[in-house]
Amino acid sequence: MPELHAQLRGVTRVYPAVAGYRPVHALGPVDLDLRHGEFFSVVGPSGCGKSTLLEVLAGLQPPSEGTVTFEGKRVHGQVPDGVGVVFQEDASFPWLTVWDNAAFGLRRSGVDKAEIDRRVGDALAFMGLKDFQQAYPAQLSGGMRQRVCIARTLVLQPRLILLDEPFGALDAQTRLLMGDEVLRLWRRTGATILLITHALDEAAMLSDRVGVMSARPGRFLDLVETNWPKERDSTIVSESRFGEVTGRLWHHLRGESLKALGQSGVPVAERSGRAEA
Amino acid sequence: MSRIGWIRLAVLVALVALLEFLVRIGSIPYKTMLPPSEMTTALVRLLVAGTATRDIVQTLTCVAAALAASVVAGFGLGVAIHRFPRLRRALEPFFATYYAVPFFIFYPVLIAIFDLSLLPIILMGFAFAVIAMCIATINGLDRVPRVLGKVARMHRMDELETALRMKLPAAAPHLFTGLKLCVAYSFIGVIASEFILAPSGLGHAIAYAYNDFDNRTMYALMLFVMVVVITLNMLLHGWEQRLLKRWHGR
């Protein structure tokens, strides 16, 4: 059994009531064991607490109940050393060049210039941004800006990388290619990766295991082992096993997605088309 | 220079030439206004002779002090108020009515407290400018993407570092509006205060020349103030445009 890297035990997250609204029970209780060096994805219907799960694991939000541990130490109040997060939104700094964006964290940490040059040069080359290092984010496409954010995280050499729907704004083809890059990154760094996504094909292609979450409050309904070889890329989408994995994911998710639509205030029957039948 | 820049320059030159022409042919009485060429000549002579140097230095010093204080205090106040939404809601009516207050009625009170020193003048410039910077800061911070706050926490930044290294540059395009207003308001506050009740300074010198029917000196000093203010604003505008180009890639 591979070594345990991060763990959630009985974790819930309840957002307190604000301005006339009731408290929102967003997550849990959730138990999760992340194995060292695995690629784990979380899929679930919109609003099921996927991003909340990631932020609690990252230390960006405190759990309302339960415990979070990373490398055996309790995560409490701040992002632990060794954890890197790439967010769904464009989080590149528009006032800095691509190079300075990537070097941001290292300069803050007082790393010497030669080491910064080495790590940043390496990360930009790896992410295919070497020719754009003096460009500003506004001069890049959405996918390239997201790669800048990944490079900025990568240079800090995190042992646990948390990706919160980083390709959500990209078209399907670009997402597949970005998926290949993430797989390369994962193999090269040996880091544990947790990916939040709403795309079943993305989760099925990239992951060793996929956690399927229920509608809010999000709980794990199933953990699907893909059994892909470590050396894989987006070509596996044409394999029959890929269809089995996505089929199993969709089997759980269909009902939960309908429930989530009901939570959003739209009658489920109407949304699913049965009202018209 | 761009084509638009050339058009802008041509419009300015045409307006100045028209003014020169109207004064020269007597459509505008010579006693009322000097032709721009004579204003310029008078200003050059004044600067070469050094008779206005003391007033110029004093006014620019007061403006610089009022500007620096209002930018620093306005930004700090804006960050603090943005941090506490309830305080912001409580203060919003005051901000909305702040510039309805005729500040200059307080000038005699400031003189009574601080005497005829530079401090009341600087305070008037500061009072005029500080809230503009504060409001621009709050508006700028409202537009900082929330995800940058998460990035700051990922890098384990404290509140001060987050404000200086993340929020300040992220809000910079919006802060420029505040900075430009601060420059204008600092000049207005300082020169108007000198104009009313000060023993020296550019405002005082302009008022003195006016009372003395010395149109040549009055217009020369007015031209000087306009050139300085417009040059400063153009520099800031250029800086802002470069920043926006970097920000938006156009």
pLDDT at A175: 79
Q: What pTM, to 2 d.p., does this model score?
A: 0.77
Of A79, A88, A136, the CB nearest to B153: A79
And the tokens for A93? 């700094």
Mean pLDDT value of segment B236-243 = 86
> What does the block give as tokens for A188?
């090269």
Q: Write down the H helix ranges in B84-106.
A: 85-98
The whole-angstrom distance between A86's CA and the closest CA on chain B is: 9
Residues A60, B150: C-beta atoms closer than 8 Å: yes
CB contact under 8 A, A87 and B147: yes
pLDDT, tens digit, 9 for 90 and up, residues B142-185:
999 999 999 999 999 998 899 888 988 898 888 888 999 999 99
Q: What is the pLDDT of residue B250?
A: 56
Q: How far apart are CA B134 and CA B175, in angstroms?
A: 9
pLDDT, chain B, mean: 90
- Give the pLDDT confidence score for residue A275 in this predicted structure: 35
Residues of A with Cβ-Cβ distance to B154 under 8 angstroms: 58, 60, 79, 83-85
Given phi > 0 = left and psi -120 to 50 = alpha, else beta, which region is B26? left
Can you tell me the distance from the alpha carbon of B90 to that of B85, in angstroms, rounded to the nearest whole number? 9
Share of chain B above pLDDT 70, in %: 99
Cβ-based contacts of B169 with chain A (< 8 Å): 93, 95
Q: What is the pLDDT of residue A277?
A: 28
Residues ≥6 apart with Cβ < 8 Å to B164: none
What is the ipTM for the molecules in this complex?
0.84
| pLDDT (0 to 100) of residue A206 | 92
pLDDT tier for residue B246 given thresholds of 50, 70 and 90? confident
Higher pLDDT residue, A118 or B30? Answer: A118
Q: What are the structural domains of chain A? A: 4-82+197-272 (3.40.50.300)
A224-239 core/surface letters (b: 16 or more CB in 10 A; e: else): bebebeeebebebeee
Residues of chain A found within 8 Å of residue B157, distances taken between Cβ atoms: 108
> Which of B143, B151, B156, B166 would best serve as a mutation to test chain A binding (most A beta carbons within 10 A)?
B151
Mean pLDDT by 10 residues, chain A (277 residues): 84 86 88 94 90 94 94 89 91 94 93 94 88 92 89 92 84 81 88 92 92 91 91 87 90 80 55 38
- Note which residues in 121-150 of chain B have CB less than 8 A from chain A: 145-148, 150
Residue A271 confidence (pLDDT): 44
Q: Please name each of the domains of chain B with its CATH number.
A: 35-248 (1.10.3720.10)
